[in-house]
Amino acid sequence: MKRILILFLLAFVVGGFALVGGIGGESGQPVGPDNTTPASGGVFSDPPSQNPWETDEITVAVVEQPDDRNYEPLITQAIAYWNANMSTVGWEGEFVFADTDEPDVPIHIVEEVDEWAERTNGDHDHDHDDYEGETIGYAPIYNETGQAVGHNTPVQVASGLNDSSTVTVAAHELGHTLGLRHSDDDTYSVMAAEMAVAEVDQPSATERANPFETDTLGVYYNATTGSFASPVESEFGDVWTHFEAGNSDIVPGNVSFERVDDANDAQLEIRRVESVDSGVSTTEWVGFDVDMDGEFNTYDRATVYIEADVAANQKAWHVGYWTTYLFSNMDDDEFPPELESRSENTRQNWP
């Protein structure tokens, strides 16, 4: 039987004033606005030689974090990037990671980044009026006059990102503290308005009791060659009752199935088709690979395809088989005997 795997990545977007993100494929979500516009409008053409902190060593420290992870080597990598490029931005001096509670640039590693709007106070120009998505970073944009805008306002970086993504997010936000904006991405790629980031290692979907994002799965009965007959739909209902009653060793009993009228609201769609390659039924699914290790961590939605000429009293068996498959580790040997059987009698009498 043909098993189709469609990969969707969780792409986070770098906001001008923050990093924002959301579910996506090849393109990102709308970005947040840049905060203060530097007088030069980008890379400084003729700034004062000294940096906004007016010191040769700009101290950077992680002064707040929600976990015991060692962020020093990650932030050190981020500041090393800008130290190598400080003169090209137009400043003198360098970032130095310091063990202090009062650095020039305090970094807060946070579980939830403050919304950018709460910090702008309506005083600054914005490139965009709004944006969508989860905020995963924040930094004030400093100006070119040797004075820091919102001086000592902390940089925020979301916790839960893997090492390389934490470095990238921190570097992006430190770029804002140097006065850089998204329009500077031609010179500094780290300032790009869109980038993919990954979370720390997460269990794969096949390792989870429920691989979906919700315990209540919307189910939609679709058809490309005609509607399912009412008796068949009634049998489908028996499948969901079977699972919800805890009769499966694979599908958790706390998972419920609710029929919906709109395919867009469904996590599971049952679709009747003319033919299926290499079999009479199959499934395909889309999901999220948030730690970017090549395996889904959760599924967003799945579709079960059943050939139209499959016996009406066996269609429920196919739905039950593929639903179980999606909740399993995808090893057929783990299936209960009634779902491994090719007996016509078993198939027409299950569940």
Provide the pLDDT confidence category of residue 64 given band limits of 50, 70 and 90.
very high
Q: What is the mean pLDDT of residues 236-260?
A: 95
For tokens 């137009």, the residue is: 90
Q: CA–CA separation, 55 vs 133, rounded Å? A: 37
Q: What is the mean pLDDT of residues 82-106?
A: 92
Query: 19 φ, ψ to 5°?
Result: -100, 125
% of the chain residues with pLDDT over 90? 40
Three-class SS of 234-277: HHHHHHHHHHHCCCCCCCCCCCEEEECCCHHHCCEEEEEECCEC
At 164 the pLDDT is 83
Query: What tens digit of pLDDT does each residue of 12-45 get?
Result: 333 333 332 222 222 222 223 344 444 444 466 6
Q: Which residue has the higher pLDDT, 190 or 27?
A: 190
Integer angstrom CA distances of residue 216 from 213, 253, 260, 270: 9, 11, 11, 16
Q: CA–CA separation, 63 vs 107, rounded Å? A: 6
- Contact indicator for 118, 150 with CB cutoff of 8 Å: no
Tell me which residue of 188, 149, 154 sits closest to 171, measured CA to CA.
Answer: 188
Given the DSSP bridges, would you call strands 134-138 and 18-23 parallel, antiparallel or unpaired?
Answer: antiparallel
Q: How many CB atoms lie within 10 A of CB 208?
A: 17
Q: What is the mean pLDDT of residues 199-221?
A: 89
The CATH class given to the 211-349 domain equals alpha beta
Q: CA–CA separation, 89 vs 58, rounded Å? A: 15
CB crowding 88-107: b at 16 or more within 10 Å, else e: ebbbebbbbbeeeeebbbbb
Q: How many CB atoms lie within 10 A of CB 78?
A: 27
Q: Which residue has the higher pLDDT, 138 or 2?
A: 138
Structure tokens belonging to residue 77:
């990598």
**Where are the chain's structural domains?**
7-191, 211-349
Q: How many CB atoms lie within 10 A of CB 119?
A: 16
Least confident of 196-200, 238-242, 243-247: 196-200
Q: What is the mean pLDDT of residues 166-186?
A: 89
Least confident of 140-154, 160-174, 314-328: 140-154
At 135, is the secondary structure helix, strand, or coil?
Answer: strand
Third-level CATH fold of 7-191 = Collagenase (Catalytic Domain) (3.40.390)
Whether 211-349 and 7-191 are alike in CATH topology: the answer is yes
* pLDDT over threshold 80, residue 301: yes
At 125 the pLDDT is 32
Sheet strand arrangement including 268-273? 3-8, 281-288, 298-307, 268-273, 216-223, 256-259
* pLDDT over threshold 90, residue 81: yes
Query: What tens digit of pLDDT does each residue of 139-158 get?
Result: 877 766 555 555 567 899 98
Q: CA–CA separation, 116 vs 139, rounded Å? A: 9
Q: CA–CA separation, 322 vs 140, rounded Å? A: 50
Left (φ > 0), alpha (ψ -120 to 50) or beta: where does 207 sit? alpha
Please, what is the angle between helix 72-89 and helix 163-177, to 10°? 40
Least confident of 18-32, 164-178, 204-218: 18-32
At 272 the pLDDT is 92
At 148 the pLDDT is 56
Tell me which residue of 295, 327, 333, 331 sits closest to 208, measured CA to CA.
Answer: 327
% of the chain residues with pLDDT over 70? 75
Given the DSSP bridges, would you call strands 281-288 and 298-307 parallel, antiparallel or unpaired?
Answer: antiparallel
